[in-house]
Amino acid sequence: GIHVLDGCTPWPEDLAAHYRASGHWRGETFDRLLRSWARAHPHRTALVHGTRRLDRARLAQEAERIARRLAGLGVGAGDRVVLQLPNIPEFFTVFFGLQRLGAIPVLALPLHRRSEIVHLCRLSQAVAYVVPDLHQGFDHRDLATEVLKESPALRHVLVAGDPGAHTPLDGPGTADLPPAPDDASEVALLLVSGGTTGLPKLIPRTHDDYAYNVRASAESCGLGPETVYLAALPVAHNFALGCPGVLGALHAGGTAVLTDEPDPDAAFALIEHERVTATALVPPTARMWTAAAEWGDADLSSLRLLQVGGARLLPEHAAQVRDAFGPVLQQVFGMAEGLLNYTEPDAPEEIVLHTQGRPLSPDDEIRVVDEDDREVPPGATGRLLTRGPYTLRGYYRADEHNATSFTADGYYRTGDLVRRTPTGHLVVEGRVKEQINRGGDKVAAAEVEEQLVHHPAVLDTAVVPVPDDLLGERTCAFVVPAPGATAPGRGEVAAFLKERGLAPYKVPDRVEALDELPVTAVGKTDKKALTELARQLKGSA
Ligand code: J2J
């Protein structure tokens, strides 16, 4: 069998052999890839951030310096390190420094807070946590101090910037590094899932599978040495990291520009100044850009690829994007778990406006099934199941959850409702998973509910989506007050969840009191009825 990190599910040997024979899996680690990128074009610009520019040789040198620093602190092959950095060059010097050691980055999102980070540290038994000093007014060093108290395996907090009471990321390291691990079937990184249950899940991605994800995406999206990719979404997220993202731009011989300001004013200035050719957005940002492009006078003529994904893009909004930016729009239906669908760069308008794309790999296997896992008729809407050369076979250390998230023959149950067109494109029609998609930010209803029931005045609660013009959906929490108590209002709920360390985007947008939650015939909370009620309340508000 294949050797992978404990707690991960390998692909069966016959499929792995097929993925190798097909040339998808090439046995190259990310450490080797970075070296080959640097060797091929040492003086080409790799990363741009504000006035900082790193060429490829420099990126490789910095990664090695970080590897020495971490090795000096005792970090080694197989160790997990929670990486919570925004879109700054250090994200990549640390990412590749860890790759040099064979240590495994756990990619936390910048907005994750104590609840998520403690969970990620404990689940992965991370030995180190890497943070910025201050980011968007939030002091990550204070968060790290709290996280240290609750995470027994955590030995180091490393700060990019002013370290405060913690360890500076910059500093002396060990002189001799051990040889770089070279097994590409090993796990290279752990991505965080959008989640459906109480706590976020971790997605193991191997060198073989993720390098394929990046390479095939870069090729399919037409990236090349002239590519200047603007990372306006967090690079800790799969979309901006590797679909094709920053890694795809580097692989293709191009440059990545990093920013944390996706608003049109800042982004348009960057596009004009750096002659950006490609970028990725979630639908709400794409709509803001569209509105701004109609009025502004920035020169956006360099833009050749505008990817929009992460949440549903309505056909009329797609048409507005296309009208504002020209034929550069690409719809992307992706997931950190693996499967990626892209509309082809030369696809007819009908496809670009009305579908969410076609699977990236000829070896992506797609099934559209009913609730009994029976194939629906062609063109009918059903649940999307998938397996393939870059789709996970199991979440990390999650046996119980894996038993229901995968079929016996290894298909991942995406929880998405889709329809397949005769051309093989997928249209996302909805969802069966209890997740709210807040303009691309995923909120697991169960995670918020499990936090809210800790409030002394809350007896029971249910979180459901409400339609929203800009974000597509927002969250509504129904709360049943404890006997004798008054249900907390939204302000109280927000303060309470903040205190419990939940990421701010998970705080319910609306809070509604109810005497009791409606139940279905079998006695489960009737989320359908609540979703309908939330709609009506919104309409009457
Ligand atoms: C409707 N729903 C979509 C779309 C994702 C590229 C792009 C997006 C993600 C991502 C990603 C959708 N229309 N176009 O990782 O590499 C919803 C689905 C899906 C879930 C995955 C990438 N694109 N979705 O969004 O892991 O419900 O990845 O299962 O955050 O987002 O969420 P996530």
245 CB within 6 A, ligand 1: no
Asked if residue 4 belongs to a domain, the reply is: no
Beta bridge partners of 138: 135
Position 331 pLDDT exceeds 90: yes
How remote is the CA of residue 289 from the centroid of ligand 1, in Å?
20
Question: Tell me, what's the pLDDT at 541?
Answer: 64
Asked if residue 23 belongs to a domain, the reply is: no
Please compute the mean of the pLDDT values over residues 416-423 and round it to a whole number: 98
What gap in Å lies between CA 152 and CA 114, rounded to an integer?
A: 15
392 CB within 6 A, ligand 1: no
Asked if residue 237 belongs to a domain, the reply is: yes
How remote is the CA of residue 310 from the centroid of ligand 1, in Å?
4
**Which of these ranges, 31-45, 193-207, 363-377, has the smallest mean pLDDT?**
193-207
How remote is the CA of residue 49 from the centroid of ligand 1, in Å?
26
Q: pLDDT for 171-213, tens place per residue? A: 999 989 999 999 999 999 999 999 888 899 999 999 999 999 9
C-alpha to C-alpha distances, 134 to 83, 144, 175, 380, 482, nearest whole angstrom = 15, 12, 31, 49, 39
Please compute the mean of the pLDDT values over residues 404-413 and round it to a whole number: 98
Q: In terms of domains, do 381 and 474 share one?
A: no
Asked if residue 203 belongs to a domain, the reply is: no
233 CB within 6 A, ligand 1: no
Confidence of residue 1 (pLDDT cuts 50, 70, 90): very low
Which residue's CA is the nearest one to ligand 1's atom 21?
335
Reduced 3-state DSSP string for 118-132? HHHHHHHCCCEEEEE
Q: Is the Cβ–Cβ distance between 306 and 321 less than 8 Å?
A: yes
Q: In terms of domains, do 327 and 235 share one?
A: yes
Asked if residue 148 belongs to a domain, the reply is: yes
227 CB within 6 A, ligand 1: no
Asked if residue 305 belongs to a domain, the reply is: yes
Q: In terms of domains, do 445 and 377 share one?
A: no
**Residue where one domain finishes, among candidates 431, 456, 472:** 431
Domain of 303, CATH number, reads 3.40.50.12780
From 335, 337, 471, give the residue whose CB has the most ligand 1 atoms within 8 Å, as the site to mutate: 335
Q: Is the Cβ–Cβ distance between 106 and 131 less than 8 Å?
A: no
Burial class (CB within 10 angstroms; exposed 0-12, middle 13-18, buried 19+) of 292 = middle
Question: Tell me, what's the pLDDT at 235?
Answer: 98
How remote is the CA of residue 525 from the centroid of ligand 1, in Å?
27
Position 489 pLDDT exceeds 80: yes
φ, ψ of residue 480 to 5 degrees: the values are -100, 120
Q: Which of 41, 51, 38, 128 is nearest to 88 (CA)?
A: 51
Q: pLDDT for 269-287, tens place per residue? A: 999 999 999 999 999 999 9
Q: Which atom of ligand 1 is nearest to the CA of 243?
A: 16
Q: Is the Cβ–Cβ distance between 69 and 171 less than 8 Å?
A: yes
Supply angle C-alpha 195, 437, 189, rounded to 5: 40
β-pair type (167-168, 156-160):
parallel
- Entry field: residues in the chain: 541
413 CB within 6 A, ligand 1: no
Q: pLDDT for 72-88, tens place per residue? A: 999 999 999 999 999 99
Q: In terms of domains, do 275 and 325 share one?
A: yes
Position 419 pLDDT exceeds 80: yes
Question: Tell me, what's the pLDDT at 198?
Answer: 83
194 CB within 6 A, ligand 1: yes
Q: Which atom of ligand 1 is nearest to the CA of 414?
A: 29
Question: Tell me, what's the pLDDT at 2?
Answer: 44
Task: Give me the sheet containing 510-513, strands edge to edge.
Answer: 458-468, 472-481, 510-513
- In sequence order, what E strands does 134-241 have? 134-135, 138-139, 156-160, 167-168, 187-192, 202-206, 228-231
Range of the domain at 474: 435-540
Asked if residue 22 belongs to a domain, the reply is: no
Domain of 107, CATH number, reads 3.40.50.980
Position 329 pLDDT exceeds 90: yes
Question: Tell me, what's the pLDDT at 197?
Answer: 84
Asked if residue 398 belongs to a domain, the reply is: yes
**Residue where one domain finishes, among candidates 403, 431, 459:** 431
**Residue where one domain finishes, among candidates 384, 415, 431:** 431
Which residue's CA is the nearest one to ligand 1's atom 29?
335
How far from each other are the two terminal CA atoms of the chain, in whole angstroms? 59
Percentage above 90 pLDDT, the chain: 96
Q: In terms of domains, do 77 and 123 share one?
A: yes
Please compute the mean of the pLDDT values over residues 404-416 and round it to a whole number: 98
Q: Is the Cβ–Cβ distance between 343 and 351 less than 8 Å?
A: yes
Q: In terms of domains, do 355 and 497 share one?
A: no
What is the total count of domains within the chain? 3
What pTM value is reported for the model? 0.97
So what's the ipTM on this one?
A: 0.99
Q: Which atom of ligand 1 is nearest to the CA of 242?
A: 16
Q: In terms of domains, do 242 and 116 share one?
A: no
Q: In terms of domains, do 427 and 451 share one?
A: no
Question: Tell me, what's the pLDDT at 4?
Answer: 64
Please compute the mean of the pLDDT values over residues 486-495 and round it to a whole number: 98
426 CB within 6 A, ligand 1: no
Confidence of residue 3 (pLDDT cuts 50, 70, 90): low
What DSSP assignment string belongs to 356-409? --EESSTT-EEEEE-TTSPBPPTT-EEEEEEE-TTS-SS-TT-HHHHHHHB-TT
What gap in Å lies between CA 100 and CA 33, rounded to an integer?
A: 11
Dihedral, CA atoms, 45, 51, 52, 56, nearest 10 degrees?
Answer: 0
442 CB within 6 A, ligand 1: yes
What is the H or E stretch that residue 451 is in? helix 445-452
Which residue's CA is the nearest one to ligand 1's atom 15?
335
How remote is the CA of residue 154 from the centroid of ligand 1, in Å?
31
Q: In terms of domains, do 171 and 156 share one?
A: yes
Q: In terms of domains, do 398 and 445 share one?
A: no
What gap in Å lies between CA 69 and CA 308, rounded to an integer?
A: 38
Q: Which of 447, 425, 426, 428 is nearest to 436 (CA)?
A: 447
Q: Which atom of ligand 1 is nearest to the CA of 193?
A: 26
Question: Tell me, what's the pLDDT at 538?
Answer: 83
Q: In terms of domains, do 140 and 284 share one?
A: no
What gap in Å lies between CA 141 and CA 167, rounded to an integer?
A: 10
Q: In terms of domains, do 223 and 244 share one?
A: yes
Domain of 474, CATH number, reads 3.30.300.30
How many alpha carbons lie under 13 Å from residue 248 in its C-beta half-sphere?
30
Please compute the mean of the pLDDT values over residues 41-69 and round it to a whole number: 98
How remote is the CA of residue 74 from the centroid of ligand 1, in Å?
37
What DSSP assignment string belongs to 453-495? TTSTTEEEEEEEEEEETTTEEEEEEEEEEPTTPPPP-HHHHHH
Q: pLDDT for 94-150, tens place per residue? A: 999 999 999 999 999 999 999 999 999 999 999 999 999 999 999 999 999 999 999
356 CB within 6 A, ligand 1: yes
Provide the mean pLDDT of the chain.
97
What gap in Å lies between CA 470 and CA 491, rounded to an integer?
A: 22
Question: Tell me, what's the pLDDT at 296?
Answer: 85
